[in-house]
Amino acid sequence: MTTAAPAPAPEPRLSSHLNIKVCGMKYAANITEVAALGPDFMGFIFYDQSRRHARPELQAEQVRALPASIQRVGVFVNETTERIQQHVAEYGLNLVQLHGAETPAQCAELQAAGIPVSKAFAVGAEFDFRQLEPYAAHCTYFLFDTKGELPGGNGTTFDWQILEHYRLPVPYFLAGGLSLAHADALRRLRLPGLFALDLNSCFETAPGRKDVPLLTEMFRLLRP
């Protein structure tokens, strides 16, 4: 088995703007255009049931060639630790995002292998924050997405004010149907633990192909 040697994930940056992740990338020219906008994170989905599944279009060399300022995130759903490690090594991933029913034990296993973990949780009308506690010691980040039929990319938002009750020390990404219409509210959003915004399905011309002018405007509004 190929052993992973990922670059360390960045320390949470408490800056004047929220960090931005653009997720669901797969096409070479589109990756280059989006990278030029300067996102903090770029996500690549390695889940074969997703319409944004990165393979076979995605080339490992292009992911590795991204600027060091952009953290490379691999998104997995109920994948084995061995396969995740293989992807980390092949694509030079800095962070893995687990978007399925992964256990705290698997997060700890990846952490012990030197792989930073972001564990995603689906949020509905209510959310029991106690379920996060077994994961907290083994995750660099959490990600909160809208509960829906798919593991992610449902294109709908949840009530962000639920996160006012968040009390754990793990910083998190806010995902779930974020669009240009939310830019002003997101820029003014003040929630405990909020670290980054995850932009995906509402900024596409087709699954996996990002609308660069739309993203450009979103970046301008979020980073005045």
- Residue 30, H or E segment: helix 28-35
Amino acid symbol at 139 = C
In a domain, 204, yes or no: yes
Question: Rounded to an integer, what distance in angstroms lies between the CA atom of residue 26 and that of residue 204?
Answer: 12
Q: Would you give per-residue pLDDT tens digits along the chain (224 residues)? A: 444 444 444 443 334 568 999 999 999 999 999 999 999 999 999 999 999 999 999 999 999 999 999 999 999 999 999 999 999 999 999 999 999 999 999 999 999 999 999 999 999 888 999 999 999 999 999 999 997 665 545 567 899 999 999 999 999 999 999 999 999 999 999 999 999 999 999 999 999 999 999 999 999 999 87
- In this structure, the strands spanning 204-206 and 209-210 are antiparallel
Q: Helices then strands (H, E): number in the chain?
A: 6, 10
* Domain that residue 129 falls in: 19-222
- Please tell me the total count of domains within the chain: 1
Q: Is residue 8 part of a domain?
A: no
In a domain? residue 45: yes
The enclosing domain of 34 has a CATH number of: 3.20.20.70
Give domain status of residue 7, yes or no.
Answer: no
How far apart are alpha carbons 201 and 148 in whole angstroms?
14
